[in-house]
Structure formats: structure tokens, C-alpha cells
């Protein structure tokens, strides 16, 4: 085990981290005295130390990606009962032909194996009474039923009580989400050449709505209609005005409030712990023996837990660290200096069709393949 730790330490020292980021005191961690402790103590102390070292090491994006891919590969081999990948180069198997044959079967029988029914939840806009926001906005309180589910689609509907019969350039509806600091983000746009009804429906960016619901159950929207260059603000003018409605279509696949990780964008990363897309292409990693799917989104958790760690669920790993640090003040001090790391806390399975060591084509469900929730520990 000491050899493995030295390998990790060597890999870290060769990266571009600053010396202040990589100051590890092995004497303080008592790792040099591992052989003098009992086996359970050695295992627990080593796991704790190795986890802490890894937390710091995964600060670089490419190392995080490589680590996630290695995790995926190890999970597949473990779940399929293999110690190593099959050597299909010696089997003379027509991979392209097999994929053409089995891909339609996979899409029909397996790809939607975990799909579940959808439910729609409605929220009626209220007049704004919150001092952090201007008065010409619509406020929607989102129920806990929505917060415990995965959002699939968000639509805003309202009555456009404006005479548009003489509009020459059509009508443009813009919906901005407004935040407590006064900033706004465009989450929906719809253009009409003419209106057949006063009732208007605009589809909103569900990722932005879901990202907001990680930390609050309130959505604040500023809606405006642009008609021939004139702008009209649309919002509830009284408590009796129930015409503006937010409809959220959700799958019954549950997600824990605040612990669920929305999908953040790599080009616009959040500073805090968040879930990002990460496509694993089996051909590119040299695993052509996976027939279907040829690639999938494994997702990856990254970010600074200090910024939103209070929203993250504490999993069993946290209890392990606490158990070790409670027995060793030097390790506790080290953990306090390093802090917690952002990692996947919950996963979903993935169905795969693959070639086994005997050259047979097999379908199986592999657990812990899709990161669905992030955690800090």
C-alpha cells in the first residue's frame, strides 16, 4: 500500500500544482508507522490519506477526466465479473457488422429500460412582494413534489392582453430569469408573425431552471412583449390575476433536493460543486468489445465544495473520514487544511451489449455507470 501511495505522490509532484497546493506531511499523517498498527487501522488510515491526496490531485481537468474514465472501466469489469477486457483482436469478430445488427435492438429493448412516466406540475404566478426584486416580475413558488423529481420540460403560459391586430413586424416574447443580485438571464424567446389566440406559451431552458432549484424553491421571471419596437412588461397586477402559469413536466425518477446535481456547462463553469457532461467513447478508449452503446454520458462532478458544500449530501465516505480524524488529531488538522472534495454521490445503471471472453454477445445492466448526484466529503 505504501508503494501505491508513493506512486500517487509521484504523479502529483509531476503535475503543474504549486508547492503550496501539494504540501503533504507524511510524518503528520503517521503513514510511515503503518506497519506498527493493526490491519483495520492500516486500511482505514490508508484509505483516508489516499482519498485526501486524490482530492487535491484531481484539481486539473484532464486528470479528473482520466480518473473518471478509469473508474468507468473498473466498474464495467467488476460488474461483468472480468479481471481484464476480452482480447477480441484474436477472435476475428466483425465489430462493425455486430454493431449494425445489435444497435437497433439496443435502442428498442435496452436504451429506454429505465424510462418512466411523466407528470406535470403547475405553479401560478404571484405578485412580487420580495424587496430583492423589482415590482414588474412574476414570482413562482415551486412545490416539493417538483424538487424531488427530474425536470424534463418547462413552459410558461399567459394571456397577452395587448392589441396585436395591427402589428407589422410580428410579436417577440422574451423571458428573463431574475436573480436576487439584480442580474438577469434570458431563458426563453418566442416569435410570432400573428396570434390566433391571446394565450401564449413559451418553452424555457430547463437546465437554467433546474440549476436555480438546487438552492431555492422560487423562480422569478421578467416577461416582456416586443410589438413593432414597443416593449410591454407582463406580470400579475393583482392577487386575483391567475393567468400566468409555469408548467414543469417531470419524470418520476426522484432526485434529492439540494443534493441533486444539475448539468452545468463546461464553457460556463460554476465555481461550486456541480455535475458536468462527460462523454465516454468506448472506441476511443480501446474498448471495441462494447457493442452498444458506442458512447454514453457518464457525467462528472467537479468544483469547489467550500462555495456550496452546505447544499451537498454527506455520504458514507464522510463518516469514514470523521471516524479516522476523531482518533488522530494530526489527520484531522490535515483534512481541515485540504477541505472536502466534489465527487459523485449517486449513480444510475447503464445497459450494455458486449462480447465476453468466449466471443459470445451478451446483454447486461451495469450499475454505478451514470453519475446522477454530486456530493462533498
- The pLDDT, as a whole number, for residue 161 is 76
Among residues 220, 243, 266, which one ends one of the domains?
Answer: 243
- The answer on 350 and 371 residing in a single domain is yes
pTM of the entire predicted model: 0.47
- The pLDDT, as a whole number, for residue 145 is 73
- The pLDDT, as a whole number, for residue 285 is 96
In a domain, 23, yes or no: no
- The answer on 266 and 235 residing in a single domain is no
One-character DSSP codes across 73-106: HHHHHHHTT-SS---GGGTT--HHHHHHHHHHHH
- The answer on 180 and 93 residing in a single domain is no
Distance (Å, whole) CA 284 – CA 272: 30
- The pLDDT, as a whole number, for residue 164 is 67
Nearest to 75 by CA among 288, 262, 348, 360: 348
- The answer on 202 and 140 residing in a single domain is yes
For 275, the domain range is 60-114+257-313+339-377
User: What is the mean pLDDT of each successive set of 10 residues along the chain, which is 377 residues long?
Assistant: 38 36 36 44 44 48 89 96 92 85 79 58 73 70 80 89 70 90 91 79 92 87 87 72 80 49 72 88 96 94 71 46 52 54 89 89 89 87
In a domain, 156, yes or no: yes
Distances (CA, A) of 375 to 260, 315, 341: 9, 7, 8
In a domain, 11, yes or no: no
Domain count, the chain: 2
Distance (Å, whole) CA 269 – CA 267: 6
In a domain, 20, yes or no: no
Distance (Å, whole) CA 334 – CA 45: 13
In a domain, 222, yes or no: yes
In a domain, 102, yes or no: yes
Domain of 223: which CATH number? Answer: 2.60.40
Amino acid at each position: 500500500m505504501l508503494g501505491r501511495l508513493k506512486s500517487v505522490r509521484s504523479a502529483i509532484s509531476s503535475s503543474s500544482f504549486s508547492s503550496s497546493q501539494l504540501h503533504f506531511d507524511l510524518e503528520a499523517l503517521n503513514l510511515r508507522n503503518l506497519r506498527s498498527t493493526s490491519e483495520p487501522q492500516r486500511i482505514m488510515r490508508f484509505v483516508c490519506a489516499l482519498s485526501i491526496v486524490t482530492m487535491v490531485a484531481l484539481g486539473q481537468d484532464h486528470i479528473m477526466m482520466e480518473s473518471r474514465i478509469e473508474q468507468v472501466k473498473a466498474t464495467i469489469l467488476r460488474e461483468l465479473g472480468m479481471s481484464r477486457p476480452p482480447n477480441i483482436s484474436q477472435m476475428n469478430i466483425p465489430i462493425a457488422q455486430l454493431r449494425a445488427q445489435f444497435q437497433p435492438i439496443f435502442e428498442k429493448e435496452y436504451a429506454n429500460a429505465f424510462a418512466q412516466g411523466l407528470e406535470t406540475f403547475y405553479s401560478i404566478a404571484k405578485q412580487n412582494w420580495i424587496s430583492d426584486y423589482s415590482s414588474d416580475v412574476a414570482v413562482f413558488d415551486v412545490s416539493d413534489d417538483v424538487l424531488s423529481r427530474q425536470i424534463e420540460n418547462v413552459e410558461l403560459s399567459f394571456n397577452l392582453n395587448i392589441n396585436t391586430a395591427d402589428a407589422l413586424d410580428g410579436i417577440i416574447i422574451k423571458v428573463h430569469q431574475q436573480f436576487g443580485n439584480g442580474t438577469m438571464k434570458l431563458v426563453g424567446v418566442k416569435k410570432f408573425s400573428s396570434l390566433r389566440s391571446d394565450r401564449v406559451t413559451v418553452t424555457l431552458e430547463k437546465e437554467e431552471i433546474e440549476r436555480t432549484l438546487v438552492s431555492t424553491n422560487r423562480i422569478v421571471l421578467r416577461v416582456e412583449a416586443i410589438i413593432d419596437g414597443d416593449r410591454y412588461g407582463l406580470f400579475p397586477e393583482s392577487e386575483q390575476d391567475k393567468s400566468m402559469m409555469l408548467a414543469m413536466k417531470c419524470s418520476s425518477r426522484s432526485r434529492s433536493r439540494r443534493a441533486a446535481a444539475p448539468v452545468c456547462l463546461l464553457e460556463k463553469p460554476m465555481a461550486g460543486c456541480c455535475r458536468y457532461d462527460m462523454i465516454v467513447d468506448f472506441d476511443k478508449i480501446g474498448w471495441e468489445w462494447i457493442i452498444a452503446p458506442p458512447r454514453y454520458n457518464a457525467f462528472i462532478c467537479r468544483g469547489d465544495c467550500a462555495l456550496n458544500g452546505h447544499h451537498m449530501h454527506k455520504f458514507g465516505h464522510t463518516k469514514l473520514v470523521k471516524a479516522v480524524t476523531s482518533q488522530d488529531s494530526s489527520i484531522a488538522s490535515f483534512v481541515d487544511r485540504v477541505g472536502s472534495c466534489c465527487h459523485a454521490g449517486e449513480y444510475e445503471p447503464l445497459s450494455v451489449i458486449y462480447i465476453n471472453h468466449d466471443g459470445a454477445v451478451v446483454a447486461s445492466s451495469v450499475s454505478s455507470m451514470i453519475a446522477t448526484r454530486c456530493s462533498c466529503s
